[in-house]
């Protein structure tokens, strides 16, 4: 048998854009050529640094290494889910601290290995950077190759069609040229890019598969780009507001701010925001009693610097408010007891709502009230008062055994529990002050009946402070809500990347790229030999179906010549390799059918 | 004011009863399948597509030789063997008949029932019971949703019920589409019973309204696609396991042994589809689900952006979804480009599914993150 291959007898242009593989024509490697996947190479080519550099680059962009890197990436992501991580909000930062306290020997080792910052660690970054370099090294050349493929004609029919993975043939009395023309027309109708030349038709379809695959891999860069941009140009700030309070979005009025290189305190979006009211609802019966059911912050805001033109809006857990380039998220809520403090002379020295921070799911809240402007104390010296304690939205009848804890997150039986200190609050010490904590270093706790003075107040009740310090009235309480003001560019890019990835995957996984060749040649003894062959990824049997349908359609123009009485029993199949039994073959010297394209219908093995 | 009144206790109770009834019916279906497998072991023979060839001949004969268009396509098999596919179109009737003969080493077994009629009857009973179970199961899910007027997948119990439902439904849809998948019945029913068992015992939560974090249309989108992906990954997992088993069996037989791996009976393996069928099936399912899983993660990220202000924070759930995604990408890559077919790829698929399972049970139960809600 002549050793004909798909490569040797092709016109030079079309096929070699596809691959650098040698003209090896077994079905597998031929099928591979339907993809622009790179061809693996084994050892360094050439010597010296350049040779090695080239070899390393080849390795890095090879499929094997891509696979290893992908695998490593998934492994490397795991520790971060099991060990608490820094930089994921204050709650997690607390977890990191307590974890370190519990594991004093491991903690320094973990610290060294960056296990508290897995996703920004050197090793995690190294893996994904290598992966993306590999991806770029793979995708960019593939894109160019693919453009070349699109511009070239479908590769011409190999001389030996029986070598192709799917194959069919029959004899007809129709004219060879007419059959080829009909095949060309039918393939076009089926959406193939078909080309008729040299007595055969070459057709190809399913380019969208490659487009999809390239789009998917390129979209990964969009995702990465979105991520990178966000980490360079985003900023978040926190703001807590009691009902009725408002603020302008500037650094002086925010509670905290963390920026990045391209988003600093100067870049804050100018707006004004006011919390009108806050609604919270909780489950009051059943097994899930106390579970939150609704949180709504009713706000007023004005974009820009003009605070007179306000609009109203609702902010809920899944519904942030967008003002300019910032989004405002509702992240917490609680109670702010309203108290009035009077000095010994009955003058009001403090009045207002003070947020108490929730400590548990039932809103047991702790906080302090600092009376900086108390003035002259009963001992004739200038002094300040500090109250510390808890607010319980639903206080138990007795604190015995439990201490002051709330039983339910809503305000069913509100109570304020306080101690009181006198002395120097430390406001002027120059050290940063935490408004939720009392620095009692220079203060003394006031006593009553030789015990620390304490009060449990219901709304409206007045506490007579010991030693003539005056009174504290628990006027009532308001709710507060805390907000996260977030500026994050790059979301759109990442979203576009995500959508493109999905579309690309659909194209890449559900479409088949395949080729079909048809060749009709006049036989020396009269009549025409029709051969069809197809090539696709080996995964699918669809190409066989498609070829069969095409062949059936083609028989309208090229009806099979009747040569056997029992066409239905004709299950004689042509071996696609060269080992065809002699008795099944036609004339082996037939000029253009070198390897026995035995038409099935002509042979009946009884 | 309190929304607790929005729970209809009768419907919630009905839902529980329906779920329990479904479990009973599934258990019966499981027994029926076992009977099918047992009876079917007698006289199981590999039947080839002789009858199909016969029916083709009949059709062609009936139409007469005139106007018959017939093509035989030769398909080169992976191992060097060949397969043929014959397509016959009878002019004027528009009907085409396709037969495909297969290479000798690729014969699918006849199914659990083998050639035994009693076993076939048991199998049919099992399928009917499974359908009944599915109806009760679906009723349970719907009444649960109605009892609180929301999508019934707000916690792990509800999620598990829906997940098991999607598994059974997928199996029955394949059956209804006349696919040869009755052998899947037993593994599916067992998996469904396990899932429901865990759901009703350790994961059970009373029917109730949702925490505000779940008040979002993304709940319906993100969670339902996640459920669907879970069911499909599970099915692919079963196919992968069976592939590995059947492949070992075929190798053992080739080596002259008479039993399947782990001393299992040869008759069971003989009745199952060919290893290559399992291999293809698990690849197809995984490839089909991968874009949907990508969508699920994307939808989750969009939701996270609306709820927490950042679309990706490496929360444990996000991390494990990512790990699962990359693991499946590894598997697809290995098959598409590295040419890893067969066992090596199957091990990757198993690893990927292990990641998925851990993401579901492990992360929800052992790891705390932002994805923890009332009642797990
Ligand atoms: C960032 C990580 C990557 C992911 C998540 C990923 C994912 C995928 C997926 C899911 C497929 C399957 C599509 C199919 O079966 O056609 C695929 C195919 C492919 N990938 Fe990747 N990939 C990644 C990186 C890479 C890299 C680094 C390379 C090159 C070195 C590469 C080259 C290819 C090729 C050549 C194909 C097959 C194309 C074909 O079937 O014709 N990928 N990839």
> What is the C-alpha to C-alpha distance for residues B123 and B29, in angstroms, rounded to an integer?
9
The predicted structure's pLDDT at residue B213: 67
User: Can you give the three-state secondary structure of A530-573, one letter per residue?
Assistant: EEEEEEECCCCCHHHHHHHHHHHHHCCCCCECCCCCCHHHCCCC
| Stretch among A439-443, B43-47, B134-138 having the lowest mean pLDDT | B43-47
pLDDT at residue B16 above 50?
yes
Higher pLDDT, A38 or B13: B13
B353: helix, strand or coil: helix
Which residue of chain B has the CA closest to A576?
Answer: B76
Band of residue A101 on the pLDDT scale cut at 50, 70, 90: confident
The predicted structure's pLDDT at residue B333: 87
Q: How far is CA B344 from CA A42, B52, B330, B333, in A?
A: 21, 35, 12, 12
Contacting residues for A537 by C-beta, under 8 A, at least 6 apart: A31, A34, A35, A512, A513, A514
Cβ within 8 Å of B, A 52-71: 63-64, 66-67, 70-71
If you measure from the C-alpha of residue A217 to the centroid of ligand 1, how many angstroms do you get, rounded to a whole number?
7
Nearest to A340 by CA among A402, A385, A290: A385
The predicted structure's pLDDT at residue B77: 61
Chain B CB contacts of A539 below 8 Å: 280, 283, 335
| Stretch among A26-40, A423-437, A564-578 having the lowest mean pLDDT | A564-578
A281 touches chain B (CB under 8 A): yes
The predicted structure's pLDDT at residue A563: 54
Average pLDDT, chain B: 77
The predicted structure's pLDDT at residue B131: 94
Q: What is the mean pLDDT of residues A118-141?
A: 90
Which of A544, A547, A556 to mutate against chain B (most B CBs within 10 Å)?
Answer: A544
A465 near A383, Cβ under 8 Å?
A: no
What percent of chain B lies above the pLDDT cut of 90?
22
Cβ of B74 and A506 within 8 Å? no
> What is the C-alpha to C-alpha distance for residues A407 and B368, in angstroms, rounded to an integer?
24
From the CA of A135, give the closest atom in ligand 1: 27
Which residue of chain B has the CA closest to A67?
Answer: B330
* CA angle, residues B361, B366, B372, in degrees to nearest 5: 80
A509 lines ligand 1 (CB under 6 A): yes
The predicted structure's pLDDT at residue A559: 82
Q: Which helix (H) or strand (E) holds B364?
A: helix B363-366
Which residue of chain B has the CA closest to A556?
Answer: B69
What percent of chain A lies above the pLDDT cut of 70?
81
The predicted structure's pLDDT at residue A11: 31
The predicted structure's pLDDT at residue A219: 93
Q: Please say whether the dihedral angle defined by the alpha carbons of residues B164, B169, B175 and B179, taken in this order, is positive or negative.
A: negative
Band of residue A562 on the pLDDT scale cut at 50, 70, 90: low
From the CA of A37, give the closest atom in ligand 1: 35
Q: What is the mean pLDDT of residues A315-324?
A: 87
Q: Which helix (H) or strand (E) holds B37?
A: helix B9-40
> What is the C-alpha to C-alpha distance for residues B200 and B205, in angstroms, rounded to an integer?
9
Contacting residues for B28 by C-beta, under 8 A, at least 6 apart: B129
Q: Which helix (H) or strand (E) holds A300?
A: strand A292-303
Higher pLDDT, B266 or A255: A255
> What is the C-alpha to C-alpha distance for residues B183 and B281, in angstroms, rounded to an integer?
13
pLDDT at residue B353 above 90?
yes
The predicted structure's pLDDT at residue B373: 45
Which residue of chain A has the CA closest to B209?
Answer: A293
Cβ of B72 and A286 within 8 Å? no
Count how many Cα atoms sit within 13 Å of the Cα of residue B110 in the half-sphere of its side chain.
Answer: 22
Higher pLDDT, B142 or B64: B142
Closest-CA residue, ligand 1 atom 20, reads B333
- Summarised one tens digit per residue, pLDDT across range B145-188 is 888 777 777 778 888 898 899 889 988 988 888 777 788 889 89
A231 touches chain B (CB under 8 A): no
A80 touches chain B (CB under 8 A): yes
Higher pLDDT, B107 or A365: A365
If you measure from the C-alpha of residue A505 to the centroid of ligand 1, how many angstroms do you get, rounded to a whole number?
10
Q: What is the mean pLDDT of residues A99-118?
A: 86
A529 lines ligand 1 (CB under 6 A): no
A235: left (phi over 0), alpha (psi -120 to 50) or beta: beta
pLDDT at residue A478 above 90?
yes
B293 near B331, Cβ under 8 Å?
A: no
Nearest to B16 by CA among B284, B204, B224: B204
The predicted structure's pLDDT at residue A133: 92
Higher pLDDT, B60 or B110: B110
- Summarised one tens digit per residue, pLDDT across range A217-239 is 999 999 988 888 888 888 888 89
Q: Where does residue A50 rank: exposed (0-12), middle (13-18), buried (19+ CB within 10 A)?
A: exposed
What percent of chain B lies above the pLDDT cut of 70?
74
> What is the C-alpha to C-alpha distance for residues B336 and B348, in angstroms, rounded to an integer?
13
Backbone angles phi, psi at A79, to 5 degrees: -55, -35
B336 lines ligand 1 (CB under 6 A): yes
First to last CA, chain B: 26
A149 near A36, Cβ under 8 Å?
A: yes
- Summarised one tens digit per residue, pLDDT across range A369-420 is 999 888 888 888 888 899 999 999 998 888 887 888 888 888 888 999 999 9
> What is the C-alpha to C-alpha distance for residues B242 and B236, in angstroms, rounded to an integer?
10
* CA angle, residues B342, B348, B351, in degrees to nearest 5: 140
If you measure from the C-alpha of residue B332 to the centroid of ligand 1, how many angstroms do you get, rounded to a whole number?
8
The predicted structure's pLDDT at residue B209: 67
- Summarised one tens digit per residue, pLDDT across range B248-266 is 888 888 887 777 777 777 7
Band of residue A20 on the pLDDT scale cut at 50, 70, 90: very low
Band of residue B46 on the pLDDT scale cut at 50, 70, 90: very low
Contacting residues for A33 by C-beta, under 8 A, at least 6 apart: A15, A18, A19, A21
Q: Where does residue A46 rank: exposed (0-12), middle (13-18), buried (19+ CB within 10 A)?
A: exposed
Band of residue A448 on the pLDDT scale cut at 50, 70, 90: confident
**Mutation to probe ligand 1, out of A213, A221, A227, A513 (largest number of atoms < 8 A from CB):** A213
If you measure from the C-alpha of residue A35 to the centroid of ligand 1, how many angstroms do you get, rounded to a whole number?
11
The predicted structure's pLDDT at residue A262: 87
pLDDT at residue B130 above 90?
yes
A26 touches chain B (CB under 8 A): no
**Beta pairing class for A292-303 and A256-258:** unpaired
Cβ of B375 and A288 within 8 Å? yes
> What is the C-alpha to C-alpha distance for residues B292 and B271, in angstroms, rounded to an integer?
33
The predicted structure's pLDDT at residue B99: 46
The predicted structure's pLDDT at residue A460: 92
If you measure from the C-alpha of residue B216 to the centroid of ligand 1, how many angstroms do you get, rounded to a whole number?
34
Higher pLDDT, A183 or B104: A183
> What is the C-alpha to C-alpha distance for residues A2 and B291, in angstroms, rounded to an integer?
46
If you measure from the C-alpha of residue B333 to the centroid of ligand 1, how many angstroms do you get, rounded to a whole number?
5
pLDDT at residue B28 above 50?
yes
């Amino acid at each position: 048998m002549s050793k004909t291959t798909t490569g040797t007898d092709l016109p030079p242009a079309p096929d070699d854009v596809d691959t650098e593989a040698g003209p090896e024509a077994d079905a597998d490697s031929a099928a591979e050529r339907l993809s622009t996947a790179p061809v693996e190479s084994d050892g360094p080519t050439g010597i010296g640094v350049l040779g090695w550099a080239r070899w390393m680059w080849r390795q890095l962009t090879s499929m094997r290494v891509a696979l290893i890197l992908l695998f490593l990436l998934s492994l490397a992501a795991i520790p971060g889910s099991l060990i608490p991580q820094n930089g994921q909000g204050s709650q997690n930062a607390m977890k990191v601290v307590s974890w370190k306290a519990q594991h004093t020997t491991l903690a320094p080792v973990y610290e060294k290995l960056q296990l508290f910052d897995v996703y920004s660690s050197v090793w995690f970054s190294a893996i994904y950077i290598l992966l993306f370099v590999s991806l770029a090294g793979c995708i960019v050349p593939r894109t160019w190759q693919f453009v070349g493929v699109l511009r070239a004609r479908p590769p011409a029919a190999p001389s030996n069609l029986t070598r192709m993975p799917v194959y069919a043939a029959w004899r007809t009395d129709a004219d060879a040229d007419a059959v080829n023309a009909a095949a060309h027309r039918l393939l076009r109708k089926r959406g193939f890019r078909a080309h008729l030349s040299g007595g055969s038709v070459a057709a190809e379809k399913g380019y969208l598969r490659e487009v999809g695959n390239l789009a998917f891999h390129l979209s990964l860069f969009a995702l990465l780009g979105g991520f990178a941009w966000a980490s360079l140009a985003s900023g978040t700030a926190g703001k807590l507001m009691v009902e009725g309070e408002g603020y302008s979005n500037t650094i002086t009025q925010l509670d905290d701010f963390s920026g990045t290189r391209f988003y600093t305190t100067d870049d804050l979006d100018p707006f004004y925001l006011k919390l009108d009211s806050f609604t919270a609802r909780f489950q009051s019966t059943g097994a899930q009693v106390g579970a939150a059911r609704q949180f709504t912050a009713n706000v007023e805001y004005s974009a820009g610097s003009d605070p007179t033109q306000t609009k109203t809006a609702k902010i809920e857990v899944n519904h942030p408010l967008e003002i300019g380039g910032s989004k405002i998220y509702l992240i917490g809520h609680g109670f702010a007891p309203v108290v009035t403090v009077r000095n010994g002379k009955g003058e009001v020295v403090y009045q207002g709502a003070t947020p108490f921070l929730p400590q548990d799911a039932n809103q047991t809240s702790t906080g302090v009230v600092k009376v900086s402007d108390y003035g002259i104390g009963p001992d004739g010296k200038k002094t300040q008062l500090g109250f510390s304690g808890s607010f319980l939205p639903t206080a138990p009848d007795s604190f015995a055994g439990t201490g002051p804890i709330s039983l339910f997150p809503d305000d069913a039986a509100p109570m304020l529990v306080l101690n009181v200190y006198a002395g120097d609050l430390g406001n002027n010490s120059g050290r940063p002050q935490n408004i939720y904590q009392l620095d009692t270093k220079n203060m003394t706790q006031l006593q009553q009946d030789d015990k620390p003075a304490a009060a449990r107040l219901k709304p409206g009740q007045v506490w007579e402070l010991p030693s003539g310090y005056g009174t504290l009235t628990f006027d009532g309480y308001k709710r507060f809500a805390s907000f996260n003001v977030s500026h994050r560019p790059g979301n759109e890019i990442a979203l576009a990347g995500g959508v493109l990835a999905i579309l690309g995957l659909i194209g890449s996984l559900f479409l088949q790229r395949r080729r079909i060749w048809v060749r009709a040649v006049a036989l020396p003894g009269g009549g025409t030999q029709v051969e069809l062959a197809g090539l696709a990824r080996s995964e699918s049997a669809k190409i066989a179906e498609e070829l069969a349908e095409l062949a059936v359609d083609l028989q309208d123009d090229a009806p099979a010549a009747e040569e056997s009485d029992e066409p239905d029993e004709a299950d004689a199949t042509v071996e696609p390799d060269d080992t065809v039994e002699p008795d099944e073959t036609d004339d082996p010297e037939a000029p253009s059918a070198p390897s026995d394209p035995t038409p099935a219908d002509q042979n009946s093995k009884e | 004011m309190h929304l607790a009144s929005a729970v209809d206790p009768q419907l919630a109770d009905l839902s529980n009863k329906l779920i329990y009834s479904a479990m009973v019916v599934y258990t019966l279906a499981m027994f029926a399948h076992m009977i099918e497998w047992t009876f079917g072991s007698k006289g199981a023979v590999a039947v080839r597509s002789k009858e199909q060839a016969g029916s083709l001949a009949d059709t062609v004969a009936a139409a007469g030789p005139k106007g018959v268009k017939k093509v035989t396509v030769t398909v080169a098999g992976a191992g060097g063997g060949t397969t043929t596919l014959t397509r016959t179109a009878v002019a004027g009737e528009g009907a085409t008949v396709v037969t495909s003969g297969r290479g000798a080493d690729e014969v699918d077994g006849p199914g659990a029932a083998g050639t035994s009629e009693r076993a076939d009857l048991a199998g049919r009973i099992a399928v009917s019971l499974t359908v009944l179970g599915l109806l009760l199961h679906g009723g349970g899910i719907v009444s649960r949703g109605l009892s609180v007027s929301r999508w019934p997948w707000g916690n792990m119990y509800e999620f598990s019920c829906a997940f098991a439902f999607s598994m059974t439904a997928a199996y029955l849809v394949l059956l209804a589409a006349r696919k040869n998948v009755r052998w899947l019945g037993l593994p599916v029913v067992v998996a469904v019973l396990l899932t429901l068992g865990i759901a009703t015992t350790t994961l059970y939560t009373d029917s109730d309204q949702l925490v505000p974090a779940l008040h979002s249309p993304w709940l319906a989108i993100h969670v339902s696609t996640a459920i669907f992906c879970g069911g499909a990954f599970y099915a692919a997992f079963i196919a992968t396991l069976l592939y590995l088993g059947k492949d070992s069996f075929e190798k053992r037989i080739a080596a002259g042994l008479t039993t399947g791996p782990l001393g299992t009976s040869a008759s069971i393996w003989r009745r199952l589809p060919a290893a290559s069928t399992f291999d293809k099936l698990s690849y197809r399912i995984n490839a089909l689900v991968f874009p949907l899983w990508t969508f699920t993660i994307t939808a989750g990220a969009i939701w996270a952006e609306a709820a927490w202000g950042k679309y990706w924070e490496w929360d444990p759930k996000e991390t494990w979804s990512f790990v699962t995604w990359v693991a499946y990408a590894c598997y697809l890559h290995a098959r598409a480009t590295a040419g890893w077919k067969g066992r090596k790829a199957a091990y990757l698929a198993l690893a990927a599914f292990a990641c998925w399972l851990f993401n579901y049970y492990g992360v929800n139960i052992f790891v705390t993150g932002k994805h923890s809600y009332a009642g797990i």
